Structure formats: structure tokens, C-alpha cells
Chain A
Amino acid sequence: MAKSKAGLLQGTLDMLILKALSLGALHGYGIGQRIAQISGDELKIEEGSLYPGLYRLEHRGWVQSEWDTSENNQRAKFYKLTRSGRKQLILEERNWERLAGATMKALRAS
């Protein structure tokens, strides 16, 4: 039971990271900010947990990173979506919509 819950959360975080990066390249801190912004501050993620997620996505080839200068002139690692990452996001969005729709249907059943 706990395993499936963790899996769902991990998959959701990955999808949110991909979504945040679909709007443009960002560093890790910026990704956290953007997720909070696009979810209307509804989603609070433990900030450090973003990084294993980012590394995992990079490992799968869905994002790529490079060091650059941040807005406050510090060296930071910026991430951007790859072509396969964009495809994966579309796939995950479809899966999520199907899952959410099915769950809502089940909950509304009398």
C-alpha cells in the first residue's frame, strides 16, 4: 500500500518538474518556485526532494542541464526539457487526465 502511494507521488513530482520546465529553462530553486506559482501555492513540495527527481529525469534523457550564471550573478545549474522530455510530458498529462477522470467517476458513483 505504502509502495503504490510513494510511486504515485514520485510520478506526480516528475510530471510537475517536466511541466515547470516546459515553460522555459530554470535552476532547481526556480523549478520549485514555478511549481508553487503554477499550482497557485496549493502544492508544497519538500524542496530537497526536487533534486533526486531532476537527476532521475536527466538520467532518463528527459531533461538536460548546464552550468550558467543566475539572476544574482551566481553559478547555477540550469535545466531544460529535451524533445523526448516534451513527448513524455504529453504522455503523462494524458495518463493523469485519464486517471483523474476515472477517479472522479468512481467517487461520484452512487
Chain B
Amino acid sequence: MSRVKATVDFIHAWQHPDEIADEVEAELRFHVQMRTQANIEEGMTPDEAQLAAKLSFGDFDRIKVSCCEIKRGFPFDLKALRMGLCIAIACVAGGFSLVAVNLPHHSLFGVVWQLSAIAILMCSFLIGRRNNSRRHD
């Protein structure tokens, strides 16, 4: 699944939870029907076949809820996203720092620019540290 499709599916799952639940239910019902049919072909009565199919399937509602939850799950690796964010912020901070060292230090603009670079670097450092500590948890 491409990242674009994963994102579209994720948004769709949150926008139309009932549609997702119906789709999951239809899929699970198809399975129970197929098993029932197979049981009938093996010689069971329709009632026996259906009961046996339901028993061999397991807890229908729990499985349905579980599938819906997976479908609504965030499609990206949060650690990788945080790491990407951290690198992006560090790059921005680097750019700010490069400009800051070339600005006159006595002007207000230069001071604001330098403070911004320091703030962005601090953010990058904090996110990186947080990401690292979560990885070790």
C-alpha cells in the first residue's frame, strides 16, 4: 500500500466508520456462509452446519471490532515520523544558523534571527531526545 493510499484509507476509515464496519461484517459473514456450506456438504443439517460454522469461527463481534480498530489505526510508524521531523527541524535550524552568523550582531533583526536559530535547535534536540528515550522504553 503506498503512503498516499494508506493516508486516504486512514481518513476514509475515520470519516465513515459505519461503512468500514459493514464491509468487515460482510467479509466475516461470507466466511461463515462458506463454512456452513462446506459443513452441509459433509452431511450436517443446515442448523447443525450453521452452529458448527459459528463455533469454529470464534467470537464474531470481538473479531469484527478488532478488524475495525486495525483499519482505523495510524498507518505510519510514529518513531520514523518523529525521527523525520527531528531531522527536518535540525536542517531548518542549520539554515537559520548559517544566516544568523552572517547578520550584523548589533541589529535587532540579527539578534531575533539568532534567538530563533537557538530555539529551533533546542526543539530539534528535545524531540530527538524524547524519540531516543521512547526507543529505549
A51 touches B75 (CB 8 A): no
Q: Give complex CA distance A52, B59 in Å.
A: 12
Knowing A29-B35, A48-B57, A64-B1 touch, does A74 contact B30 (C-beta < 8 A)? yes
- Interface stretch, picked from A7-15, A55-63, A91-99, is A55-63
B1 touches A77 (CB 8 A): no
A47 touches B31 (CB 8 A): yes
Chain A interface size band reads: 20 to 34
A-B contact count, CB below 8 Å? 68
A59 touches B75 (CB 8 A): yes
Residue B67 contacts which of A32, A52, A64 (CB distance < 8 angstroms)?
A52
A27 touches B30 (CB 8 A): yes
Knowing A28-B27, A47-B58, A48-B60 touch, does A55 contact B35 (C-beta < 8 A)? no
Chain B interface size band reads: 20 to 34
Other than A47-B56, A59-B6, A59-B71, give 20 A-B pairs with Cβ distance below 8 A.
A29-B35, A46-B56, A47-B35, A47-B58, A48-B31, A48-B63, A51-B67, A52-B63, A55-B67, A55-B70, A59-B70, A64-B1, A72-B34, A74-B30, A74-B33, A75-B26, A75-B30, A77-B23, A77-B30, A82-B1
15 contacts between A and B (CB under 8 A): A46-B57, A47-B35, A48-B57, A48-B58, A48-B59, A48-B60, A51-B24, A51-B28, A51-B63, A51-B66, A51-B67, A52-B66, A59-B70, A61-B6, A77-B30
